[in-house]
Amino acid sequence: MSQRRALGVLFATIALALAGVAYAAAGDAWPVAFGAAVLAAWMATMALRGLRG
């Protein structure tokens, strides 16, 4: 596995974890949910770049 693909898998894992945090915090702590969702989206774009190339 190349280093670029490994980073893509790592970023995808982090994105999924942050998406879970955003989902769990959605009801009570909306600022935390918003921040986690933004970070999850950012990590997802980096994961796609790593997995494509």
- Asked whether 32 and 21 are in contact (CB, 8 A), the reply is yes
pLDDT of residue 22: 96
Walking along the chain (53 residues) 10 residues at a time, the average pLDDT comes out as: 92 97 93 96 96 85
Residue 23's identity, in one-letter code, is Y
pLDDT of residue 33: 96
CA dihedral sign of residues 11, 16, 20, 22: positive
Residue among 13, 4, 1 at smallest CA distance from 44: 13
Q: Tokens for 14, please give them.
A: 């982090």
pLDDT of residue 53: 72
How many angstroms separate the CA atoms of 19 and 34, rounded? 10
